[in-house]
Amino acid sequence: MKDHPQAVAPPLISPDEFATVADLLKRMTGIHIGSNKRAMVSGRLAKRLKALEIDSVDVYCTWLQQPGNAAEQDAFISALTTNMTRFNREDHHFIHLADHILPGLAAAARAGGRIRLWSAACSTGEEAYDLAFRMLDACPEAAQLNLRILATDIDKSALSIARAGIYPAASLGDLPDGFADRHLERGAGANGMARVAQGARDLITFRCLNLNGEWPFKGGFDVIMCRNVTIYFDEDTQARLWQRLADRILPGGALYIGHSELLPESIAMRFTQQERGAFCLPPDAPPRTQRRGADLNTAEAQRPDSNGGLG
């Protein structure tokens, strides 16, 4: 957790220090952080500065940008991102997916087709595992077919939790009846934690990726879930990202966006909205991307700890 209450609130960083941090974060991630978040930023950075025994925000920010400080750049990003998520968040998306999208994708995969899903900004993994659970229910033999889920986030600490796939038993209460019994092993982790079963884990590849950087893969996706992340970007950054994501949806596929996010009208008009935040591209829509090549395609991006060189 990034915001534990502290006995003594850390001192507020100055407006100039805040501006330096906000500018750096924007350049590294695309995240726009408003000055109303100065107390939150002060608290989160105080922990980094204390751990490093640095007492100046300016010194920290200058040092951070020097070559060789990639690990602290990751820690800086991790400290300032918000990873709030849970299983089955906005369950109407998963119900829509199961009812309208997955039966067709399962049939296509069984007929030898290549099927790709992407949880873009997967945080600690719950959303990606939700996709896997639904896919396995629609197609129990999914792992034997050419059917995979890519799950990406910019925060490497969140990705470590995602890869481990071990969650508090209490978090399973968000899942529909029967899901935990089918897809998780209770008590497999320490202290009553539950571990996602191998079947779901086998479908997912977790990678570090900055959505606002280059994407080290080509080709399209049948499903993209990009929820509750563009809210952290400014309007231009959002519009650019929505365009790139929409162009990666294959005909007959779907893009799911978060409840407080808005697809620009010029993009939304290419899709039919069948459910809140569920945008489907008609099967006869002109393809803007190729089905082939949706995998990460660089040696750098294959490393489990890699961000694909995207900063």
216 touches ligand SAM (CB under 6 A): no
Measured from the CB atom, the residue of 81 and 289 that comes closer to ligand SAM is 81
Distance CA 25, CA 302 (A): 25
73 touches ligand SAM (CB under 6 A): no
Measured from the CB atom, the residue of 106 and 122 that comes closer to ligand SAM is 122
Considering only residues 134, 148, 207, 227, which one is a binding residue for ligand SAM as defined by CB under 6 A?
A: 227
Specify whether the CB–CB gap between 257 and 227 falls below 8 A: yes
First to last CA, the chain: 23
Supply 50's token pair: 């204390």
Min dist CB 140 to ligand SAM, Å, is 26
229 touches ligand SAM (CB under 6 A): yes
30 touches ligand SAM (CB under 6 A): yes
154 touches ligand SAM (CB under 6 A): yes
Min dist CB 33 to ligand SAM, Å, is 11
130 touches ligand SAM (CB under 6 A): no
Measured from the CB atom, the residue of 64 and 211 that comes closer to ligand SAM is 211
CB under 6 A: which stretch of 15-23, 93-101, 121-129, 262-270 binds ligand SAM? 121-129
Name the burial class of residue 70, with classes exposed (0-12), middle (13-18) and buried (19+) by CB atoms within 10 angstroms of its CB. exposed
Distance CA 269, CA 292 (A): 25
Measured from the CB atom, the residue of 30 and 220 that comes closer to ligand SAM is 30
Residue span 79-98 as binding mask against ligand SAM, x where in contact by CB under 6 A, dash where not: --xxxxx---x---------
Measured from the CB atom, the residue of 109 and 209 that comes closer to ligand SAM is 209
228 touches ligand SAM (CB under 6 A): yes
Side by side, the strands of the sheet bearing 272-275 are: 204-208, 147-153, 115-120, 221-226, 249-257, 278-280, 272-275
What residues line the site for ligand SAM (CB under 6 A)? 29-31, 81-85, 89, 121, 123, 127, 153-155, 158, 210-212, 227-229, 232, 258
